Amino acid sequence: MVTLNHLSVEDPDDGCSLLPEAKETTLPSSDLLKALHTTGTRPETFFISRTANLTVSLVLLISCYSAILIPAYLPVQKKADHSFQEHPKDLALLNVSAALLSRPCQPRWCLTHLKPLSCSPGLLDIPVFVQEERSMLWERPPPLGFQGSEEHLALTLASLPQLGLPSYLSKEGSCRRCVVMGNGGVLYGSHLGSHIDQYDIIIRLNNAPVPGFERDAGSRTTIRLMYPEGAPHSAEEYKKTSMVALVVFKGLDLDWLTSVITKQPLSLWSKMWFWREVVEEIPLRPENFRILHPEIIHKTGQALQKYTLKQGNMVPTLGASAVVMALQLCDHVSLAGFGYDMHHPEARLHYYEEIRMDAMKAQVVHDVSAEKLFLRDLVAAGAVTDLTGAL
């Protein structure tokens, strides 16, 4: 006989029963064995052995680790990048760009069409890069000159093995086409990349990215015009770059360039005066660096003065300054990614990020409205061509 004894659960303090008492129940052992035999179950098979338990556990553990780790070592197909439009957003502009490139290059095209403009006298024959330590033009402070930064300039020029225009930037003996790449959101979805790469000289600004944006922005860079805080931190951005040209806004910018060229790090004290962390190393040879002549900035500001109500020396954007620089280097100049549409605050500000046009309202340094009028006049006169149609 198997006897289930009296079962009672009581509260230890007051003796009250927490569960009802179980009635005494008896079951003949022969009946229990008969029931087990009827179901085909042996009593010892209710539980598996330790060996079997360990084997099953190891199999499950190995299976789980395999499911997690093995895919990490296998090649996986990258997800399609949906940040780009699959088709050009404006096929007509793409056709205009293709037609422009199919025409023969005509020497002095820009200068011929620039002369009728009232602002043209100040935009001709400007030196592009600094080649000397002192000049009457240094009497203005940066970025319009080098007043107060003469010693910094002398040290930087001494670290540069080559000054002036390299042969691949000289117009002598050949007709050259330039394209100045703005960072505007209008470039997004343009599919102009293959056209951009056909230009002789491609000018980019600050940290505008290239890898990952080749379809719209092209893959090569002839000149990257920038100041220290705007220099790209990724070495990938310099892989297809021929030259970096520094725009000097303060004497410390020259010290930064000297540090990059000589591989001598800046002091912690010097680093504190930059408004953003600056890159310490650029993977280019010393002969691939130049200093933009401050007359480019100065003359661009003077040209903008005709389009603004602001008084005094204007500090133009790097974009407008790059256009004036391109006029000195090339026979044909095209623009891509220029034009801020302030009437559409929801539009992209830059081609490479999600920031919207509203962000431009916060800046007070530049007069982008005056610059747009200036560039429109250049386009209307035929001196430059707007590839993305936002001017």
Q: Which residues lie closer than 8 Å to 189 by C-beta, 6 or more apart? A: 84, 85, 88, 89, 216
The per-residue pLDDT for 46 is 43
- The mean pLDDT of 219-245, rounded to a whole number, is 97
pLDDT in tens, 17-41: 444 444 444 444 455 444 444 444 4
One-letter identity of residue 230: G
Q: How far apart are CA 154 and CA 390, in angstroms?
A: 41
Put the strands of the sheet holding 384-386 in their side by side order.
289-291, 241-246, 221-226, 201-205, 177-181, 332-336, 384-386
pLDDT tens-digit profile of 194-212?
Answer: 999 999 999 999 999 999 9
pLDDT for res 90: 79
Say how far apart CA 162 and CA 165 lie, in whole Å.
9
Q: What is the mean pLDDT of residues 296-303?
A: 94
What value does the mean pLDDT take over residues 253-258?
98
Across the range 5-16, mean pLDDT stands at: 44
Residue type, 120: S
| CA separation for the pair 281, 259 (Å, rounded) | 9
- Highest mean pLDDT among 181-190, 225-234, 310-319 belongs to 225-234
Q: Is the pLDDT of residue 1 over 50?
A: no
Q: By mean pLDDT, which of 166-175, 256-265, 330-339 is the weakest? A: 166-175
- Average pLDDT, integer, range 217-244: 97
Flag whether pLDDT at 362 surpasses 70: no
**Is the pLDDT at 5 greater than 70, yes or no?**
no
Give the domain ranges of the chain: 1-42, 91-386
Among 3.40.50.300, 1.10.260.40, 3.30.1360.120, 3.90.1480.20, name the CATH number for the domain at 91-386: 3.90.1480.20
